[in-house]
């Protein structure tokens, strides 16, 4: 299990504001889901819609109206605010491709960092009619119900979920994926935020992604750790900003990291 990292005393109040922001995001994303959308391709090849942009603008404005001295980092509009200030990290729609294609697996991700540590996070998936939240040091909830990671202690009994497999092969970890598949009982590709939230809820045991950004991971890291799990990048560093992610129930983490290690020269 991960060592608890307790947030500042105001973390619970920050989480309550994250919930308000998630309500505002849901009010924009859910009515637009499966409707005609304006879609553009960004420079990195990913899609963005006018809804992504509207959600981020709305949340950014709500945050800075209340906390003018804070900073906001969002996927669409970058960072705004002092470098050492408490920072709100936003992914207005995680799973934009799903959102565009009518797949309900999308969510708004909201996290708060204080002194460089994520202390509160919310993952709101309105088309799935569910929401996860967490505070540094715990607890974690899904729809108000406390959640905990699984107690599975052997990879041979574990379920593992993967993000895009092409990112693993492109980073020299393709053989590692095969090793992890062969070592585990069940494998799935839930994708995006859902992999890690399922780990937090004890529904799966390990989730791995090879190419992700801070805004994809900050909120889910809080939730996984608050539920008693462990969250690192694929090098084993406890961070949401390492460009990759491995979440687990803690018991399986080191073994999964070892199997996913890239091939040597």
Give the C-alpha separation, 225 to 111, whole Å: 13
Question: CB neighbours of 217 closer than 8 A, spacing ≥ 6?
Answer: 196, 231, 240, 241, 245
Q: Which residues of the chain have pLDDT under 70?
A: 1-9, 264-265
Q: What is the pLDDT of residue 9?
A: 58
* Fold for the domain defined by 155-260: D-Maltodextrin-Binding Protein; domain 2 (3.40.190)
Residue boundaries of the structural domains of the chain: 11-146, 155-260
Q: What is the pLDDT of residue 51?
A: 98
Q: For 219-246, b where at least 16 C-beta lie within 10 A, e where not — what string?
A: bbbbbbbbbbbbbbbbeeeebbbbbbbb
Q: Which residue has the tokens 């939230």?
A: 197
Q: What is the pLDDT of residue 191?
A: 83
**Strand 186-188 relative to strand 230-232, pairing:** unpaired
CATH 3.30.540.10 correct for 11-146: yes
Residue-wise pLDDT tens digits, 70-97: 999 999 999 999 999 999 999 999 999 9
Q: What is the pLDDT of residue 3?
A: 44
Q: What is the pLDDT of residue 8?
A: 64
Give the C-alpha separation, 7 to 111, whole Å: 12
Residue-wise pLDDT tens digits, 15-34: 999 999 999 999 999 999 99
Q: What is the pLDDT of residue 165?
A: 92
Q: What is the pLDDT of residue 2?
A: 42
Closest CA to 222 of 130, 151, 124, 117: 117
Q: What is the pLDDT of residue 24?
A: 98
Q: What is the pLDDT of residue 4?
A: 47
DSSP three-state, residue 39: strand
Give the C-alpha separation, 27 to 55, whole Å: 9
Give pTM, 2 decimals.
Answer: 0.95
The neighbouring-strand residues paired with 52 are none
Residue 148 has φ and ψ, to the nearest 5°, of -140, 155
């Amino acid at each position: 299990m991960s060592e608890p990292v307790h947030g500042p005393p105001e973390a619970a109040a920050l989480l309550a504001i994250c919930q308000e922001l998630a309500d505002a995001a849901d009010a924009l994303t859910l009515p637009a889901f499966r409707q005609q959308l304006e879609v553009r391709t960004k420079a990195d090849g990913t899609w963005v819609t006018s809804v992504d942009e509207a959600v981020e603008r709305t949340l950014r404005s709500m945050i800075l109206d209340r906390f003018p001295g804070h900073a906001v980092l969002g996927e669409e509009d970058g960072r705004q605010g002092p470098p050492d200030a408490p920072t709100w990290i936003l992914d207005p729609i995680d799973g934009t491709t799903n959102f565009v294609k009518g797949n309900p697996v999308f969510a708004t991700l909201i996290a708060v960092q204080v002194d460089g540590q994520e202390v509160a996070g919310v993952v709101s998936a309105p088309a799935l009619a569910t929401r996860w939240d967490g505070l540094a040091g715990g607890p974690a909830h899904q729809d108000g119900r406390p959640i905990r990671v699984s107690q599975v202690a052997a990879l041979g009994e574990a379920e593992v979920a993967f993000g895009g497999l092409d990112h693993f092969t492109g980073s020299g970890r393709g053989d590692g994926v095969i090793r992890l598949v062969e070592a585990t009982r069940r494998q799935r590709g839930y994708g995006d935020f859902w992999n890690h939230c399922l780990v937090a809820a004890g529904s799966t045991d390990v989730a791995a992604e090879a190419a992700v950004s801070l805004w994809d991971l900050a909120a889910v890291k809080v939730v996984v750790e608050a539920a008693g799990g462990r969250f690192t990048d694929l090098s084993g560093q406890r961070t949401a900003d390492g460009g990759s992610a491995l979440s687990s129930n803690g018991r399986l983490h080191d073994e999964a990291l070892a199997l996913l290690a890239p091939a040597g020269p």
